[in-house]
Every structure is written in C-alpha cells, then in structure tokens.
Structure 1
C-alpha cells in the first residue's frame, strides 16, 4: 500500500508544480515563473506541496514488507484515502483554471474550502506518523536505464529443439499423437514450445495450428471453443455442445494439425478425454502437445511420445547469467563479483527463470554487498517464489505499482505494450524522467519489467506479451483488495474497498446488468476483460481483437450510472454490445482512458467533450461509427485518438488541429466540405507518432494547403501512407449539386472524349440564371472557378470559390510535392496517386532511415521514381503502374550520388505493370543485395538474353508473366542455379534443393 501512496504523492507534486507555475490563459506575455492564481491560492497550493514532499520522503524509506502491524496499516489506509481525494481536488482545480478567462483567477469558494480542508487533513495525518512503528529501509533513488539486451536469444536448447521438431514431423500409427512436454516450474517449457511452434519446418508441415492456455474454469464447451478459435483465428459462433463438436470436426477434418495445450494438469484429465475423442478426424501425423509439470501425465494420457525438458547445465546457465547481468560491462567485472555470480548460478539449479531474474536484478550493480544479499542463506537451492518476491521488492516503487496493477488481468492474459502503458499513465503511475514524455517513460518502465522477466513474449509474436503464471500468482498475493477481479454473471454493486476493478464475464452469453449505485464510490479503474484473445491475420500483419463480439455480451448501462463513479480514471467497455453511451459519462471529470473498441456505437454523446483530462480514446473496429462530436477540440489533453481505419465511413469535425498534444491519430481523412476537417488542420499536430494514414488527398482544394500541413516538420512519424481516391472522378461535383447556381463561368475547359459539357448542362446549368463557357485562344487556363451559389434558403446564400489547376494530374503533382515527410520516416506507402510525375524529394538519399516503400495505383505515371539512391531501402513494392513501358536508368538513381544502386534492397515486387516491356541497360543484376524477387501480372515484360540474376537472389516468384516464365525455363540450368526457391504461376519448384 505504501508504494501506491508514494506513487500518487510523486504524481501530485509534479501536478502542483505545473499548477503553481501555470501561466494565464489570456496572457501571452506571462513569464515562466508567473501564475494566473491569486497570491492566497498560490500559498495554499505551496503548503499542500510541502506536506506532500514530507510524506514522499517518509514513504520512500518505509519497508513495506515489515509494515504489517494494525496501527501502521490503518494509518496507511487513511493516508491513501486522503491522497486519492487530494488528486481529485487537483483535477477540479485544473479544470477551473482552464475555464478561467481572466489574467488572475480567484478560485470558487467551494474549491478553496476543499483545498484548505485537505491541507488540514494531510497535516493531521502527517503529524501522527511519529507515534507509529514504521519499519524503514535505506531510501533508493529512482534511476532507470534499460540496457540493450536481446531477449529473443534462448540458450542451450538447440539440440532439444531439433529433437522435438523431429518427433513432431515423424509419422505414427495413429491419426494423431499426444506428446507431453514435462519439466519443473521455471525451466522454460512454454518458451521452448514457442520456438518449435514457430519453426518454419513445423509451420509448413502442419496445415492447421493452434495454441490454447488451459484455464482453471474450463469446461468441455469452453475448451472446444478455445481450440476452434485458436486454429481458425476467428470468433466461433457455435453455442450448444453438439454444434461446437460438429464445428471442431469441420475445422480439423482432412488436415494435419498441431495443437498445443499449455499449462495442462492431471486434474483436467476428464476434460482431456472428452476432447481426445473429437480429434480423430485429421490426417495421419497430427500432433497434440501438452505442456505440464506433471511427471505422471504420459501414463494418464496414454501417450507413446514423451519429452522431458531438463534444467540447463551449469556452463549454459553461466552464459545466460552473463548475458543478463554483465552485458557490455563484462570486460570490467571484478573477480569477486564473478565468484559470487558463479555461486548464484549454482544455487539457481539450471532453472532459466531464476538465472535470468537474478542476472537482470544485478545488472550494472558493482556493490559486493548487493550480490552477497542475493546469494543469501546456506540453502543449497533457491525457491522460485522467494526469488520472485526478492526481485519484486528491488524494483523502484513506480514499477512495483505498475506490476501490481496487472493483477487485474487473468492468468495467461495476452496484452499489448502501448495499451498497458496508457492505462498506467491514466492512473498517474508514470513520472516523466529527464525531460521525456509520459509515454516514453512508460515504455521504459515496461522494458525494465520485461528485462527483469516479469513480462515475456507470448507464443504468437514479439508484439504481444504475457505474465509468467508463477509471477502472476505472486502479484495476486500482494495486490490486497486494491485490485479486484469479479467473476460474476450479474453485477449489481461494486466492492467499496476496491480502487481498481476488472469484470470477467463467465461466458459469451453473460448478461451484465449494472444497477444505479446508491452512493459514490472511490473506484478508479473499471475494465471488462475478456478471457480469450482471438487473432485475425490479414495480408501482412497481425490484427488483434478480442473474443466476445457485438452480439454475444449484453450489457445494460443505466443513464445515471456514472454519477456515482466520478473518481474513475480508466474505463474500458470494449467488445460489448452497446450502441450508445449514457450522457452521464460527461460527469467523469477525472477520466483519462476510455476504451470503446469493437462496440456498436454510431455516435458519441456530446457530453464526452466535457472530459477535460481525457488522454486516450479508443474506437478501433467500431464499424458502425459515423462521426465524432463536433466539439471534440475541447479535449485539449487528448494524446491518443484510435479511430477505425475504415476512414471513408467516419466523419471527423473541423477543429481537430487544435488537439496539439495528439500523438496517436492513425487515420486523417481529408473532407470534402468545411464541416469536416481539411489537410491544413495537420499543421499544428507536431507530436503525431508512429503510423499516419492521410486519405482523401483528392479532396485537397489548394496545393498550398498541403504545404501548410507541414509533414516535413513531423519528426516522429515512422510510417506514412498517402492515399488519393482510386476513382478518377470530378472531385467536387458532389458538393456543387447541393446548390442552385446563378452564374457558372468556366474559362478554357478541355473536354476529352466525354460529354462533360452536356452533363453540366443537364445537371447544373439548367438551373442557372446565366452561364458563360469560353476558351482562351492561347490555351492557358484560369486556375479558379468562382461559383455564385444560392441555397434554397436565401439567407444562406454565399460565394463559393473552388481552386482548380489546368489538369487534375498537374494539380496533384503540386500537392504531392508539398507532402514531403520528415527524413526520419521509415515506411512510405503511396496509393492511387493522380499525378503524372513524382516529387523531387522522393528517392532523395537524405531519407537515410527509409526501409520500405509501397506504391500502388499510380495510373498516370509513365516512369518510375529514382529510388536507387535510398541507402537503407530494404523492401520495395510497385503495383499497377499501367503506363510504364520500360524500366529505365532513372529508376536506379543518379550515379553521381549513388555508385551502387539500391545498396540495401532485399525484397522487390512488381505487380500489374501491364504495358511494361523490359529493362533498359543491364537491369536487375545491378541490385547486388537483392534476395527475393516477385513479378506478377506483367504480360509484356521480358528479360533480355543478357539479363543476369542478382548474385544473392534465392527466392524468385513469377505469376502470369508468360514471357518471363518462358525465359526461366530457357535459362533454368545456366542462370538460375543459385535460386533455392522458384515459384512459377504459384507452383513451388525447387530445382536445386
């Protein structure tokens, strides 16, 4: 409890520093040391700050493990309540200062009274500390530096891996074989199985694969459903047992499958038997792996195969310990520390979890006393639970609090890094270090916990994480009642003592009914946590969404539900069947995190714009969402706006550019009218990070607006997608048909083989009072069309100016030129560009971090851009350049700048170059680093007789390119000798092994 209070205290001190020095909202000349608070109010806040600093100093030295006496616990509970209340008061103060429109602001009497009352309360509690028997320890300064350690390295399992792969690939007399992997806790059974599960040979051999964590509350239906969903990677819509059994048979029938049941125990033997009889439908050679610590499991499961994962030998354990404890320091380590380290490794008994945890704990530690304290007693071996406890209490206080917060998750729950960090930030657990942002510091917290083995990679990839079940059991044991999990079918009330609460629905048919609370609660977190994570895999990347879908989990939210939950800082209602939110959500004045992913919500209530402190708003996969509230610009503290990527269906209001603290905005759709935002609103969004997809660029009316968007100044964008419309339409006709025209003047319009003039006369000019269409004799066209438009309501009459260029293509050339990104960009995607030439910046060697480019649907471009000068480009995909006839020297770049073209390119793909006939010059053999080449749908493309294959090329795939396939057959033995993988028209061919 002391660590939680300390974390909140530190957060408030930072907050008070900001409030005391906050400049006036109405004055741009305030000095950094000035404040818009009156002198009396400033004094009150300074007094509160001094009290909190005293509490911080005391709690920094409290030995939380030893504070078990009743008086100390009561004092800490009272202090926690007061500190939490003080945080809420500061939130009110922040809102009031924001709303204050004068240079010097006097607080409302009620808020002044609350502040003074809180100061008295803190003062009283602080003075009573002298009568308590608080155990103290030496205060530790919070220093965080995460070393660059490769955690994907697995020591000493190479032979084991080969042996298990051989067993899995072997055929047996039965349709499927059961293979238990047995080992002591912490030996790395799951990590080892993950290596094998993702082995390329295993992936190729088994058509169907699935991984299921055996949950404690599994029954037959849940187990079958989990297997189905893990294999299909989609949500199972079967409900009854018979339906589920039939679905499982359909999924596995006629396939060679590989299923892993993790964390299996003999107590679930009856469940296993019920599943076993359903698995006899696959092809021979199918395998089921059971991960367990039960030595007798092979007999219980009647398995003929068995794999015992032994502890690591000493030499390997020592290498693993060095990897985590010494790293780059290894050459400077004293012999004394090495001697102690060797003893620690011996007492770890070859258990990798212990070795890694102790190694990470002692990293950069040069004090012999610390090493000896770890070595500890005369026990011959370490106990895992004790080791986890020791490592936990050596963590800095904020990291302890962050880890305890994870007790809200179920055992084996899969989570993503950024989402967990956003939840930590919402609770005030993260304190910025060395001028870094909250997010940067939070990611460092996460990385440190990962380095110390509290978090580890999941079985799927290195972007999804899980907590080892032994560590999860430990944090559950210390989280007290502050973090609670409810496994209820119907929730009528919230435990009074809970500060953080997660609700676990019993199953997908759960009906959750919230009743209006009779009194306020101090709840600060409420999460609906789904039990299973289902993964859908689109073309190139994992897309995560949760198990329960819109039609399964039914939740009733009373209109006044949130009136008694005003202390909430994090609310997650993702993956439930709600279509709207109560207006009372606007009363959650302290809310920082709101998760609404994969709900049926179409519109958010206007009251959501009152959430002054909101930092994260998640709306991913809300397929019914149409627009956001018009006053969303009031959410000035918003950092992360996760909107659906189906951008054409979501309308965002103008004013989005006022959210200058935004870091996450995955999609920015350029609207067609003034009610929805235009590209110039990007100008002040300088903190956007990660991925940005700008769509609707065909709606840009003025090329200078694209320049004003200032993409070149957005240094944190790593992946940039620029998308025009795939249709070649008149981009503003939809806007014109809303008006009755009085005068329509077109100067020098060129009509190419279409009846545009007739269309205009029929659809628009027929209602004009007068119209003039003229053409300049010198064929120079005016760049502006003035439309005098009159609405049905004469009061709304206005003049509308539409900027146009001589041709759409020429105008888009100018737009693209002004969309130059910052040189830190790493990935660039260009979709349906309407211009005929590429900007000068594209391909410039100054983009030294650019590693991937995808260009699709550039239908008017006749030549490829000069990309060969990019020094770090590794992947290039060019698709649907229908007017390119030859790939010339310009593609490889200026030889004076880049002697060797494409010096880093490894993967190259051409698709849909339907007019392209060949390569000028020596062709692709210039790309010496190329390893994979894929060419599709290029019917006219051919290699010359002199064409040579790049020396490092090992993968060549040709699809629907008859001339190239003919060339491959003709030169199979002479020029394709080094190709290890050759695919012609999607048929694998391995001519030379």
Structure 2
C-alpha cells in the first residue's frame, strides 16, 4: 500500500487534483503505524486491546485500498480519454477538471481521504497508549509459543515410525559423506507430524550410540542467534556449562572439542533461511571426521534446501490405525479401550479429525484422559481443533508459529482462504482471485501466474480453512456460499447489511464420486471427504457394501446413492448401506426396491437435515419421516406407485410430526390419490402437523383428489398440474372457523390478524396452475404478497356473483400485495364492478 502511495503515477494524479497534501499525510501516518506492526502482531496473542487495534487498522487499510483503486481507475480513464482525443463539442467548451463528473468525483475522494486521515490519527494515538514500540518484540513473544525440546523420549508412546527410523539410521551409518564438512540430513514436515519425535528415536538408537563418538542435541526454534546457538551446541557436546561470551572463542573451543571425532548433532526446529548465517555456524564442524552427521528438523522447504547437502527426508502422517493406537494410549487408562465400546467408537471418530497428525491425536487423547462421560467425548468430536483450550493444547500455537513466518502478502493470501468451507479443494481459480485482489507481488522476471502458483504451493499444508459462523461481521470484505439445488432467499439474509463486501463467491461442493469400475473393484469410502457419492449402486455386491461399514464412518455428512438399472439386490444393498448418525444430507435416486429399509426415517438419523428421494418408482409406501427431529428440507419426486400418503408417513410421534421441516416438495407423483392428515383419526387429533413448514410444493400429481393435512405456518404454497384436486389444504386447524370472504372483508371490519389472533394463516405467496376441478378459492389474507391462478375455472369458485365481487374487493384491500394474476377473472369483472372501479384499478397497477 505504501509503495502504491509513493508511486510516480499516483503522485502525478494527486498533484493535478490537488490532493497530494492529504495523501502525503496519509502516507506519513501509515509509515508511523507500520513501524510497530511486528510488535503488535506478537502482542495480540495475549492482549485483547492490541488485537482490536489491529482489527480496526485492517478495516481502515481496506478503506485506503478502496480509495487508491478509485483514484487509479479515474487516472486511467483520463489517460485513455486523452489518448483517444475525444473531440465532442461539449468537452471542448468545458475544461476536463470542471466537468460535473470529475468535480463530483474529486469532492467525494477528498471527503473520504479526510475521514480516513482522522481515523488513522486516532489509531496512531492509540498505538502510543498501548505501548507499541518500533522494532521491539519480534522475538520475545514468539519464542514462548512452543516448549523447548530435549533428546529424551519414552519410546513406548511412539507408534508407526519404525520404517522412518530405519531409513534415517541407514543414512547416519552409511559411508556417504561431505568433503566440506558433516553430512546434513533435513527432516521436513508439517507442524505436529512428529519430526522431533523421529529425531529423538534416531538419536537414542543403540546402533547410533555405538557409531558416533559424540552426540549433541540443541533446540533452535525461531530465536536464531549465532552466539547463543554456538554456546548451546558446545554445552550439549561437553555436558558442561560455558562462561564464554565471545563468538570467536566459542567456535574455537567447539572446533577443538570436535577434532578427530565422529559426531552427531541434532538441530531441532530450524527457521533461519539465511545461507550466510548457516555457513558461519558450520565453521567449527569442519574439524570433525568426515562421517559426522547433522540432523536438521524444519517445517520449511526453503530451510531444508539451504542447509541440506542430501535430499530432505519428508515425513508423512500416521496411518489411521497407528493414529488410533496413539490416541488410545493417552485417552484411556492403561491404553485399554475395549472395556467401553461406546467411547471407542467416538474415539475413532475423533481420530478421523486428526488426519494422521500425532500431535493432534496426543492432544485430544490427553484432553479426554480417564474421562468416561459420553457427552464430553461427543463435545470434542463435534468441536474444531482451534476451539480447544490453548493452555492445554499445542496445536494452535504450532500453527500460529507457521503463520507468523509467512511474508506479509502471503498472510493475506492465507487469510483469504478462510472464505472457503472446511475441506474445500482449491483449484487454479484461487490464483487468479489472489491476483485480482492484488495480494501477489509483481516481479519483472516472472509472470504473475507463476508467482501466485508458487504461493499456492507454499501454502499446500495449510489450505484447509475454517468454517464460517452464521453471523457475518458488518465490515466483512470477502465471503462465499455453497451452491445448493434449492437455494432460498433466507440463505442470503445475513448479507443484506454488508456494505463493504468486495468478494462474494458461489462455490460448488466437491463430492467423491465412485465410478462403475471402482465400485466393482473395491467399494471403500475415502476418509478425507465429508460428501460421498456412488453412481452405480447396482454394481455393488452385498459383501462389498457390508465391508464398507458406512455406519461407522463418522466423517461422512452427505451421502448420494444412485441406481441406473435392474438388480436383484436393491433392498439388501440399501439396507446394509446404513450411514452413521452424523449424516446431514441423504439423496437416493432410481432405487427400485418396493420398500425402504427401516433405517430411513429411524430416529437414529437424528442429525439429518436434507432428504431427497427421486425416481424410486417401485416403492409402494414412504418411510416414517415425520419422526426425524432435525429434518428441514424434504424433496420427493417420481414415486409413481404410491397412491396414498397416510399415517405411516408421520411415524410414531407423541406431540408433533415433522417438528423442524420447513420445505416440502412432491413432484411427478403420478399415482398419488389421497394425502391424509392426522386430524382425521380421533386418537391422533392432539398431534401437531408440520408446525414449522413454510413452503409446500405439489406439482404434477394428476390423480390427487384430497389434501387433508393442516399447515399452520405456511408462507408459500404452489399447486400445479393437479387436475383432480378439489380443495386446497387447510391453513388453520379444524377448530378455527374459516369464514367466507363476504364475511371476512365487509367494509370496516378488521381481519383476525389485526385483532391479534395468532391462528391467522401467514400465507404470503400462492400459485395455482392447471387445477381444473378446484372449486374453492383462497380467501384474501392480510400478509399476501403474491397471487397467481392460471388455467382454473375461477369464476365458479364461489358460485355467487356477490361473493366474487366481495372477493375482488378483499384482495384490493391488501396493501402488501405486489404480484396479482388470475386468468379468466380479472378481465371478466362481475356485474357492478367496472374496469374503472378503485379495486380493479389498484389490482391492475400491480
């Protein structure tokens, strides 16, 4: 930003517009603030006031960027217009700087710069009140973020590293050497993968002890200082404290100590990428025997390339089996989990979140050590790693340390990734988004795409972002949303008040799709994806489906099962493919069994939110979906053999059915004749039906005659191509009177909602199409905003002309109505109502 403020192009524009003094003031204030940013970034970890100060500064910095972008854009516009030599008469008469658009633009820019300057001055004053200092604090706070390590290790608590240990020891004991000094072997890996543990295993190996004359272990971390590091190496090698404080004498003593000895040095957690510093540090080691070795652990690929003179050893994550063994050792008393199978099942789910990282498994196991309350284990399973208490977890400090070592522009790239949902796999478009935001630093010798691509590579271990909360900060600049098949306007309500949003990305969730060939070979759901799709379920053998054991796959939140042909195992395969209770979305398509298995609709699927049953054309009845407590969206389509929806659909509920359902859609139900409500059975009259359903769609159900359930909370109703339907569903319980419109809308009489009657239906949108036998029109409702009736014999709805007249007047009185269309009704007004009548004029104007 400061570079942009000091650019010659911007200065030229500022001088022409006479805003150079204000921009200079802006530059000076930003320079003053920038000098303390390192200190502030470190102190924010422990001081909430500093954290807020940085947050305020970030938002003002965004405002500055917006201003500079506008100035640059306007300057470019002027340049292009000048080059094009526009010769319009009006522009000849009026100088460019006096044109209304330019004057208005300059006035707005000056006003905004003045406002930003005031905000920055306040932030600069706050900097002094917080005690932030220039060039101070860069090391002191950071070093505290991780506990120093030593060479000691309890090998009984290490799992899955036998092969890695053997490979490193083979390198140490080999005759391979470096003529210019010791052989340096870098061990590289992401935070928490176990680099230090592997170095400790190797350091304490019996063959290593016998092979080397001298060994030393030093924890380096980020506080790199040549003097203190050399002193630490000397003290570790000799086992004695040292009082020397001059680098020359320390290196001389170290060289003397290592002379003619075969030594092993471990430098744990190295961050310094400076090649000259590394060469200076190695000076004393040239006195040792050539078979001497140095092991360097680091999470930085750059460090490994600087220090290593052999290929770096890249340490991978643990297998799921080894990760669970490690977790079990720390979570259960004596590491025995078999005595509590419920906790063991939850434990396996928790281990799945660890993604093979030993640090995560050890930390989560330690948090649950000796605890037997199932709820505590479930809380850990459902929480995120960054929500764990920091004083009892090393995970967040380890990640934060990596973040702080990123250059400033890479920090912005990393932070930008937080607008993507957890587990989202980035594509090349991310690079172009970074470029569009100006996060990538230009370089004359490289294309911008190459620079950005390198950036993406460097962030490859940190590209899984946080879940965003439902509440979006008012000053948010970047956000995104996952596309759904049926997105509602309510999905975007949180964005209505965001005035500063720069980026709003529509994203498509990636699913793991199992191909036909892969299904035949091996049906194994991948551990890392939360949404799983099988396109050819007809190819799955029953034994493979059973082996997949979906019931124990806690990480799967979305499941799509599709059939595309006949199979004799439809019902058995679907029965065995029962998912875990954590499942939130289920989609079953083209299933050809006659009945659904009992687990669909079972209360064990207590977390299911979205259910879609498409083209299951041989099914004779629906499962008991009314007892699913969290189900919000239900879509049923193409189930032609179902002719009646009755009690079986609601399930065994004591007080209410479909307690959370908000959207219900029936489409292409060619055989459906009747849909019964619970109110028709005496023993079930007290049970609430659809208490929260707001949108109901009935489309292409040509045989449907009866729609009996009650929908007290309905906001939107769409009924199309239901040619046999006689009456619309009830919006009020049967105990509430539904008077004819002639009584409801007599002049001067208030509606029930105005009297405060809570049972008044809140229907806002009503769409009816091609319902030829429908003989009952909806009476006007006080909240209605949209009414469409097409292809119906509307003029026979009430049978009496007077009723039709009052009905029309009733609709005209609804002030909220903004969309109105009734075919064969509006254009054939009842006797006594002319086209100039007030109510018809108002309805025509909609």
TM normalised by structure 2 equals 0.40
TM normalised by structure 1 equals 0.35
From the CA coordinates, give the structure whose radius of gyration is larger.
2
Q: Which has the higher helix share?
A: 2
